Structure 1
Amino acid sequence: MPTYRHLFAPRDGYVFVVTYGRSGSTLTQSLLNAIPGYAIRGENANLTHLFAKAIHLVREHEMFRWRREDLGKPRAERRPYLQPILGKPWDPWAGAEKVNPDQFSLALMDLFVRQMLRPPKDCRVCGFKEIRFHEDPSFFRHHLDIMRAAFPKTRFLFQRRNHEAVARSSWWAKQPREQVFSQLRLAERLFADYIAEHPDCTMMLDYERLVSDPEHIRAMHDFLGEPMDPAAVKAVLARSLKH
C-alpha cells in the first residue's frame, strides 16, 4: 500500500485557517509561521474544494458505490443491472469497482502537499489559510470532513471580524452592505456549527482580540499545544500589512 509520504511528512500534523476575506487572517498566518517548525501557506483559490468534490463523487456516486458494494457478493445477490456486467470489459463503468475512495483521497491530498504546500524539510506542522470555504455552503461540512479524514492531526482555526470593519474594507466596500452582512453571517453560522460538532479540533479566533489581547493569542498557542514566544508575537504585531 502506498505510504503517501508527503502527506504524512509533517510529524505534528496540519493547521488550516478558515475564514472570509478581510478578516485579518494574514496576521494569523504570520503568527502561526512565527512558531518554530510551522509552514502555513497562504490562499490557494480553494483548491482543496475541487479535490474534495472529486473525492465525494467517487465515494458517493451510485455508479461507483454500487459496484464497490456488489463486487464481493455472489452474482445472484448483486443488483440485477450489475449481474451481467460487473467486472467485465463491456461494463460502461468498467474498472469503477476497483477505485478505493480512501486511497483516492490520500493520493490527491499527498499530491496537494507535494506540489502546492511544499513543506520544507524542517516543517513539523503545515497547512494554509483560505477565505473561500463558505462559498459552497451545502458542501462546507463535507469539505472539512474530507480534509479532516485525509490530513493527519488536523486542526481548524476559524476566524471572524467585526462586520462593520469588514464591510468598509477593500472589495467588500463596493458591494451592498446588507449583501455583505448576509454573506458574513452565513459564513459564521457554518463556522459555529462545525465547531459545535467538532470541539476537539476547532477553535474560533476574533481578529479584534488578536490585535489587543495577548491572552487570546496565548489561547491559540495552547489549543495547538505550542509555547508562545512573546517576542516573536510582538514582532508579528508590529509588522504592518500593505496588501
Structure 2
Amino acid sequence: MQANLYPALHAPQDGYVFVVTYGRSGSTLTQKLLNSIPGYQIRGENGNILYHLARAATVTSTWENFIWRREDINKSKQEQKEFLRDIIGTSGDPWYGAELVNPNSFRCSIADKFVSEILRPNKETRVSGFKEIRWHEDRVFFPKFLRFIKFTFPKSKFIFQTRTAGDVAKSAWWKNRSQSDVLEMIASADRLYAQFSKDFSDSCFTVEYERYAEGPSYVKEIFDFLNEDLDIDSVASILGNRLRHA
C-alpha cells in the first residue's frame, strides 16, 4: 500500500544511501566511488533542502496544537479539552483545520516529492540518495533529522565521512572562518555522527578519508557494508584520479 501511495519514494528497490559530512572532507570522492556501483545514483549537494522538509514534517507530529486537536476531534464534548470544546473543527478555532492533518501522510508525501523532483532517479536506479555537507548546522535537530530519514526512506543507510580536523581547517574553503571555529565545528559534527552510529549501528558506516590511501582494500569495507561487489579496476582508477577542488 505504501508503495502505491508514494511510488517515487519506493521506486529504488534497494533503498537509499546518504553521505553525511562537512566541507572539505573528501566526500565527492566517496560520491564518485558509490556511483561506480551498478544501479547506484547518489546525487550531490542540494542546499540541505531535506532538512527544511524534515522540520516541516516534525512540526505536524510534535507541536501540541496539532496533537491536541487530533486527539480530541472524534471525542464527545464531555471528553474534549475545555478550551477546545466549543471551537474545534470550526472557523472560530485559531488552528482551524489542524485536526485534519495526518503527520505520517504529510511526512511520506513530502519525501516522495523530494525524490521525484530533487533526486529524480532514473529507471535504472536501484539505490538513490545524495551527499550533503550541511547536516550538522542545526545540532539540536540533527538526531531528529536523521531519524526522519531513517524511518521515512525505505532501507536507508548512512555513510558518515570524517577527516583529520587540521587538514580540513587548512583548506582555503574555510578561509573566512577562524581555525578554532572550524576545529570546534568538526569535533561537534564528529560527535553527532558517532552518537547516531551508536544508536543505529546496523545502518551506519563511518568513512575515514585518510584510509583511502590503503587503496581498494579499504573501499571494499564500505562496499561490504552496502552488500555490494567491488570492481577493483574501477575503484583503483577512481582512487588514482582524486578530485581537486578549485
Taking structure 2 as the reference length, the TM-score comes to: 0.95
Residue 239 of structure 1: aligned partner: 241
Identical residues among aligned pairs (%): 46
Rounded to whole Å, the distance in 2 between the matches of 1:180 and 1:50 is 24
Give the SS at the match of 2:13: coil
Residue 121 of structure 1: aligned partner: 123
Rounded to whole Å, the distance in 1 between the matches of 2:52 and 2:186 is 22
Rounded to whole Å, the distance in 2 between the matches of 1:87 and 1:48 is 31
Deviation string 1:68-101 (CA, Å, 9 cap, x unpaired) is: 1112322211111111111223322221111111
Rounded to whole Å, the distance in 2 between the matches of 1:189 and 1:133 is 13
User: What displacement does 1:234 show?
Assistant: 1.1
User: What displacement does 1:171 show?
Assistant: 2.0
Correspondent of 2:88 among 86, 103, 107:
86
Q: Are residues 1:151 and 2:153 paired?
A: yes
Give the unaligned 5+ runs of structure 2. Answer: none
Contact kept? 2:29, 2:242, Cα under 8 Å: no
Correspondent of 1:131 among 133, 145, 152:
133
Correspondent of 1:33 among 26, 32, 35:
35
Rounded to whole Å, the distance in 2 between the matches of 1:197 and 1:213 is 29
Residue 64 of structure 2: aligned partner: 62
Residue 48 of structure 1: aligned partner: 50
> In angstroms, what is the RMSD of aligned CA positions?
1.3
Give the SS at the match of 2:52: helix
Give the SS at the match of 1:200: helix
Residue 227 of structure 2: aligned partner: 225
User: What displacement does 1:241 show?
Assistant: 1.5
Residue 107 of structure 2: aligned partner: 105
Q: Provide the aligned length of Structure 1 versus Structure 2.
A: 243
Rounded to whole Å, the distance in 1 between the matches of 2:46 and 2:57 is 18
User: What displacement does 1:36 show?
Assistant: 0.2
User: What displacement does 1:21 show?
Assistant: 0.3
- Higher mean C-alpha deviation, range 16-25 or range 55-64: 55-64
Deviation string 1:156-196 (CA, Å, 9 cap, x unpaired) is: 00000011111111222442221111010000000001001
Deviation string 1:52-71 (CA, Å, 9 cap, x unpaired) is: 11001111111111111112
Rounded to whole Å, the distance in 2 between the matches of 1:240 and 1:205 is 16
User: What displacement does 1:17 show?
Assistant: 0.2
- Give the partner amino acid of 1:48: L
Contact kept? 2:215, 2:239, Cα under 8 Å: no
Taking structure 1 as the reference length, the TM-score comes to: 0.96
Give the SS at the match of 1:75: coil
- Give the partner amino acid of 2:19: V
Residue 179 of structure 1: aligned partner: 181
